[in-house]
C-alpha cells in the first residue's frame, strides 16, 4: 500500500509516520527506493529495528537534502550526521526509550552530530537521562546557524544554557524545561541572556524564574514577541510588565493551588499590552470587571485561552467592552464564569470564529455551552468544539451556529444520533465532523450519512477509533471525497 502511494504522490516533501502500525524498517526501505525527494521525515514514538534503513535512505541521492528528522536514538546519530549533511531540523526523544528500554542518544553521539551538521537551524532534545551540558555546549560551538533550541532535561544546567546564549547571539527561539542552576559554575541564564540579541520567543517550563531574569531581558532591550511561563515560580507581575510592551503572545500557567489572583491580573492588564494578540491563562481567578478590562486594554487581541480559571462578579455596561478583533476563544478544564457574564458573553465578540468549551459551568452549576448556544445565531462562528456538556443538543447547535465548517463533539449527554443528523442536514457549510460521543451508534450514523448523500460535501469524519466503521464504509467515503478515520 505504501509503495503504491509513493508512486502516486511523487512530489511529496514530508512524510509523518507517527503511530505507524506496520514494519517501520520495511516502510523506510520503500521510501528510500521510491525516488521521491523528501525534505521532512517524522518518526515520533517509533523505533528502528536496525540502522540499515538509515543507510538506505542516505544512499538515495534525492534524500541528500532531507532537512527534518524526528525521534532518533544514538545508534543512528553518527550515520545520520554523515548521510544527511544538509539536515536543518532534528528532534531527539528519550523518555519513551527509557520506558521501553530502547537505546538513548548520548553526549558522544550529539557531539559527533554537532561537528557534522553545519546547516542545523532547529533542534529539540527531550532526553531526561543521558544528555548533559556537554551536548548543549557542542551544539552552541559547532552549529553556527542555530536559531531555535528546545531542551527538556534534568541533567542540563544553566551553565550549558548560559554558554548557548553567549555562543549563539543569533538565537531566535528558546524553550527550556526542568533546567536547574549548576553547583559548580557562575554562568547562569540571568547573566547570559543579554547576549541573545535576536531572541524573540522564550518559553520556560517548571523552572525558577525570578524577576531579575526579566529585568535583564528589559535592560538588554530584547524585543520578545512570545513569552510562556508554564508552572514556573518566583516571577511577579512587576517583572512581566518590564517585558510586556513588545509581546504578541503571553502564556501564564500557574502551578497546583498556585492561582493568579485578581489584583495581579488587574495590574497586568492595566500595563502596556497594546501589541498583545494571544493570551493563555491557567489557574487564574479574576473578577468580571478585570476580564472586561483585558478586552478594552488589548485592542489587538485575537485569541483568548483559559483553563482551570474563574471569572466572577457583577457586570456593568458590557457593550462598551466589545472587542471586534477577537476570533478564537478556548475555555478548558472546568473554567467557571458568572451567570450574568455568560448570558452576554457572545455580545462581547461579534467576529468570533472559533469557540472551544470543555467542562465549563457557571457558578450556579449551569452548563456554559447550553447558555451560550441557545440564543441568537452566531453567524461568524465557523469552528465549534464542545467537551463534556450536559445541556447542549443538536437542535441548539444547528440553530445557533448556521455557518459552521468544523464541529467537534465529545461526551455530550443530550446529543443523540438524531441530533447529529439534524446538524448535518441543517448546516450546509459543515465540512469536518469529529464525534466522540458515548451515546451514538456510529455504524448507523455513517450508513445514513452515506445513503443520504451528505458524504458528498463532508471532507473529513473522525471517530474515536477505527473499530467504529467498516472498510466498506471507509472506502465509500474516500471514493466520494470524504476522509473517514479513527484516532
Q: Who wins on pLDDT, 80 or 52?
A: 80
Distance CA(251)–CA(305), nearest Å, equals 9
- Domains of the chain by range and CATH? 1-134+141-152 (3.80.10.10), 353-486 (3.80.10)
Return the beta strands (E) in 263-411 as ranges: 278-282, 285-287, 303-307, 310-312, 328-332, 336-337, 354-358, 361-362, 383-387, 406-410
Q: Which three cell numbers stand for residue 1?
A: 500500500
> Both ends of the chain: CA-CA distance in Å?
20
Distance CA(88)–CA(66), nearest Å, equals 8
Residue 221 CB neighbours (<10 A): 9
For the cut 60, the answer to whether the pLDDT of residue 480 exceeds it is: yes
Distance CA(218)–CA(215), nearest Å, equals 5
The residue among 440, 462, 325 whose CA lies nearest residue 385 is 462
Per-residue pLDDT of 224-258, as tens digits, reads 999 999 999 999 999 999 999 999 999 998 765 67
Based on its alpha-carbon atoms, the radius of gyration of the chain, rounded to whole angstroms, reads: 25
b/e per residue, 21-30, with b = 16+ CB within 10 A?
Answer: eeebbebbbb
For the cut 70, the answer to whether the pLDDT of residue 45 exceeds it is: no
307 secondary structure, DSSP code? E
Per-residue pLDDT of 256-307, as tens digits, reads 567 889 999 999 999 999 999 999 999 999 999 999 999 999 999 999 999 9
Per-residue pLDDT of 328-370, as tens digits, reads 999 988 899 998 888 888 888 999 999 999 999 999 889 999 9
Residue 265 CB neighbours (<10 A): 23
Determine the average pLDDT of the residues in 438-446. Answer: 83
Q: Which run of H or E residues covers position 152?
A: strand 148-152
Return the beta strands (E) in 283-431 as ranges: 285-287, 303-307, 310-312, 328-332, 336-337, 354-358, 361-362, 383-387, 406-410
Per-residue pLDDT of 169-203, as tens digits, reads 999 999 999 999 998 999 999 999 999 999 999 99
Distance CA(110)–CA(299), nearest Å, equals 45
Q: Which run of H or E residues covers position 433?
A: strand 432-436
The residues that bridge with 152 in the sheet, in sequence order, are 126, 177
Q: Which three cell numbers stand for residue 68?
A: 527534518
Look at residue 96 in the predicted model and tell me its pLDDT: 46
pTM here? 0.88
Q: Who wins on pLDDT, 141 or 377?
A: 141
* pLDDT-based confidence at residue 127 (cuts at 50, 70, 90): low
Amino acid at each position: 500500500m505504501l509503495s503504491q502511494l509513493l508512486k502516486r504522490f511523487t512530489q511529496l516533501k514530508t512524510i509523518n509516520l507517527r503511530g505507524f502500525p506496520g514494519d517501520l524498517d520495511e516502510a523506510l526501505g520503500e521510501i528510500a527506493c521510491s525516488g521521491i525527494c523528501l525534505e521532512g521525515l517524522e518518526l515520533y514514538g517509533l523505533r528502528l529495528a536496525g540502522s540499515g534503513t538509515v543507510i538506505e535512505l542516505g544512499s538515495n541521492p534525492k534524500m541528500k537534502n532531507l532537512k527534518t528528522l524526528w525521534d532518533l536514538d544514538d545508534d543512528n546519530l553518527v550515520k545520520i550526521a554523515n548521510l544527511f549533511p544538509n539536515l536543518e531540523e532534528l528532534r531527539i526523544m528519550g523518555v519513551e526509550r527509557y520506558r521501553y528500554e530502547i537505546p538513548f542518544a548520548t553526549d558522544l553521539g550529539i557531539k559527533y552530530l554537532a561537528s557534522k551538521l553545519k546547516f542545523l537551524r532547529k533542534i529539540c532534545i527531550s532526553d531526561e537521562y543521558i544528555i548533559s551540558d556537554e551536548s548543549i555546549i557542542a551544539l552552541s560551538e559547532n552549529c553556527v546557524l542555530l536559531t531555535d533550541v528546545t531542551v527538556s532535561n534534568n541533567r542540563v544546567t544553566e551553565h550549558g544554557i548560559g554558554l548557548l546564549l553567549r555562543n549563539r547571539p543569533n538565537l531566535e527561539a528558546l524553550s527550556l524545561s526542568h533546567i536547574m542552576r549548576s553547583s559548580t559554575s557562575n554562568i547562569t541564564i540571568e547573566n547570559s541572556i543579554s547576549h541573545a540579541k535576536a531572541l524573540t520567543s522564550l518559553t520556560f517550563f517548571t523552572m525558577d524564574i525570578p524577576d531579575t531574569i526579566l529585568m535583564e531581558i528589559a535592560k538588554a532591550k530584547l524585543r520578545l514577541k512570545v513569552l510562556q511561563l508554564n508552572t514556573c515560580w518566583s516571577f511577579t507581575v512587576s517583572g512581566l510588565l518590564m517585558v510586556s510592551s513588545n509581546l504578541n503572545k503571553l502564556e501564564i500557567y500557574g502551578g497546583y493551588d498556585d492561582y493568579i489572583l485578581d489584583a495581579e491580573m488587574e495590574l497586568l492588564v492595566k500595563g502596556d499590552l497594546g501589541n498583545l494578540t494571544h493570551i493563555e491563562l491557567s489557574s487564574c481567578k479574576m473578577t468580571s470587571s478585570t476580564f472586561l478590562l483585558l478586552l478594552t486594554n488589548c485592542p489587538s487581541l485575537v485569541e483568548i485561552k483559559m483553563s482551570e480559571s474563574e471569572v466572577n462578579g457583577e457586570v456593568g455596561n458590557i457593550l462598551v467592552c466589545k472587542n471586534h478583533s477577537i476570533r478564537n476563544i478556548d475555555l478548558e478544564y472546568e473554567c467557571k464564569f458568572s451567570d450574568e457574564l455568560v448570558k452576554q458573553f457572545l455580545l462581547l465578540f461579534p467576529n468570533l470564529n472559533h469557540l472551544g468549551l470543555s467542562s465549563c459551568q457557571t457558578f450556579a452549576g449551569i452548563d456554559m455551552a447550553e447558555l451560550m448556544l441557545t440564543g441568537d445565531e452566531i453567524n461568524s462562528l465557523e469552528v465549534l468544539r464542545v467537551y463534556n456538556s450536559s445541556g447542549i443538543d443538536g437542535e441548539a447547535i444547528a440553530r445557533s451556529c448556521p455557518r459552521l465548517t468544523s464541529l467537534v463533539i465529545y461526551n455530550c449527554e443530550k446529543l443523540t444520533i438524531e441530533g447529529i443528523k439534524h446538524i448535518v442536514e441543517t448546516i450546509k457549510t459543515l465540512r469536518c465532523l469529529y464525534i466522540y460521543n458515548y451515546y451514538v451508534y456510529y455504524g448507523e450514523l455513517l450508513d445514513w450519512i452515506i445513503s443520504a448523500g451528505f458524504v458528498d460535501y463532508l471532507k473529513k469524519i473522525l471517530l474515536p477509533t477505527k473499530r467504529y466503521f467498516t472498510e466498506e464504509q471507509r472506502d465509500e467515503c474516500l471514493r466520494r471525497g470524504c476522509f473517514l478515520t479513527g484516532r
